[in-house]
Amino acid sequence: MRRLPRVITVTVLVATFSLPAACGSGQREPSQSRPAADRVTWVTGFGAFGREAYVYVAQEKGFFKEAGIEVAVQPGKGSGENLAAVLGGRAQFAAVDFTATLISAAAGKAEGAVTVAALHQRTLAALMTLEGSGISRPKDLEGKTVGDAASSVIRMMFPGYARLAGVDASKVKWVSLEPAQLAANLASGQVDAIGQYVVGRPTVRNAAKGKEVTVLPFGDVVTDLYGSAVTTSKEVASGRPDLVRRFTGALLKGLAYAVEHPQEAARILAGKQPAQNAEVAAAELALMAPYVRPAGGAPIGTMSRQRVERAIAVLRTAGALEKGLTPESVVSFDLLPKG
């Protein structure tokens, strides 16, 4: 039987507890040992913007500590690279847009990855531009230049989005930019539009010195899609299910707190990432709140087979999937949060 590679380093801490004196002996209980926290790496979805504050909240509030986990956070560069980090064992968990997981799995590039919780109940994928760009509808993108990270889910989704929106994708030029460069390049006119999550509007407007931002949400055209999700390897999911449940439970607790207390969460983020503007980060979190909570009072992080099936069907109709998938091949339903 093949053994799961050890990706978590475990050490031992020794704690000594005193017993009340018995018959005046003054003897103490023998030393007892307990395992130290499991150490894991989390890769954020895209940089360290306000929308990523929840992991730092979970650290600061002790949610991971309560779960017996020590988390190292690495800013992500997009879903493609995040998937590679999980599949390559460089991270145990990562935020990966669920649509990117579906597209990659259908192409045979993510068969070792699995989703264990939804961070966003609806897709946040969008394109953004500024007033004066001449772009107010999808068709206006033809002949324009769009900037985004090379492995962004928005670039992965665009051919299918364009097909459904009546856009000739071959007439749109893409240039690769780092996450932190996107808003600045749009503001300076280096590109006509950028790939961005809808909650990134405050960040873009801040970089553009208050100029009006036009948002083209992909969810208006491609329906029934989840947004970012907690992703791990199938080896970790099958070999360490308790670790997965503890990690996702603590992370989602941080997510719930962050969207309920955006100002505080933004201050925590700015303390960890000084380059971030707390006011802009809080605005992102406020915009993200409606995307986080499922309908009908279901627990944060939940997913349903029916919606996953519909997402697969929609993407196949859009020509975004090379082959069919089953929900069970991409989601570990046994590990999803339970009410």
The C-alpha angle with vertex 47 and arms to 45 and 51, in degrees rounded to 5, equals: 65
* Per-residue model confidence (pLDDT) at position 2: 39
* Per-residue model confidence (pLDDT) at position 297: 87
Tell me the mean pLDDT per 10 residues along the chain, length 339.
38 32 40 72 96 98 98 96 97 98 95 97 97 96 97 94 96 95 96 97 94 96 95 98 98 98 98 96 97 92 96 93 93 93
The end-to-end CA distance of the chain, in Å, is: 34
* Per-residue model confidence (pLDDT) at position 223: 87
Q: What's the DSSP call for residue 7?
A: -
* Per-residue model confidence (pLDDT) at position 35: 67
Residue type (1 letter), 20: P
Contacts of 57 (CB under 8 A, 6+ apart): 63, 254, 255, 257, 258, 265, 268, 269
| Whole-angstrom distance, CA of residue 325 vs CA of residue 313 | 9
Question: Cβ of 326: how many Cβ atoms within 10 Å?
Answer: 11
* Per-residue model confidence (pLDDT) at position 36: 79
* Per-residue model confidence (pLDDT) at position 11: 35
Taken in order of first residue, the domains within the chain and their CATH numbers are 38-123+225-335 (3.40.190.10), 125-217 (3.40.190.10)
The residue ranges of DSSP E strands in the chain, in sequence order, are 12-15, 32-35, 38-43, 46-47, 69-74, 76-77, 93-97, 113-118, 125-130, 145-148, 173-176, 193-197, 213-217, 228-233
Produce one character per residue of 246-258: b if its CB has 16 or more CB atoms within 10 Å, e if not: bbbbbbbbbbbbb
* Per-residue model confidence (pLDDT) at position 339: 66
Q: What's the DSSP call for residue 225?
A: -
Q: What is the CA radius of gyration of the chain?
A: 22
| Whole-angstrom distance, CA of residue 157 vs CA of residue 102 | 10
